[in-house]
Amino acid sequence: MDIADLLSSDGVVLRGGVSSKRQALGAVADLAANAFGLDATKALDALLEREALGSTGLGYGVAVPHARVEGLERVCGVFVRLDSPVAYESLDDRPVDLLFGLFAPPSAGAEHLRALAVVSRAMRSPELRERLRQAQTVDGVQALFVQTGSAAAA
């Protein structure tokens, strides 16, 4: 599984104006709704339900919120970079500015876990995190994920 394959062509946004964890999750849900034809409210509710089980903040300013939602045929993802980090209850208590949201159909057990592992592994890279923070355009961010997938496959 390649991280770039999870992202839709319109599944990346560089966004400001978010001041809370809930708003950040709302941005992820809205992007997924637009990219995959999901109901934004249901996507946000699913993310909040998962988040109630424990924070998806991995540390180093990264979160990987994820949820199972009806209406999808495969695991897919979106990426949101916030202009200003928000408090997120992460493992290291650092605020989050990079969110890679994953959405899976209810039946996607192993595939969902593989996607989580691929994204989590990639986002542990200090170099990738820094390059994502410095990217000036959506295309630049997408190119970084394509390069990451190519490097992992090599």
Question: Which residues are known to be catalytic?
Answer: 66
Q: What share of the chain is helix, strand, coil (3-state, %, to 5)?
A: 50, 25, 30
Torsion angles phi and psi, residue 90, rounded to 5 = -70, 165
H/E stretch holding 147 reads: helix 138-153
Nearest 5°: CA angle at 94, between 91 and 99?
Answer: 80
The closest alpha carbon to 35, from 67, 3, 72, 63, belongs to 72
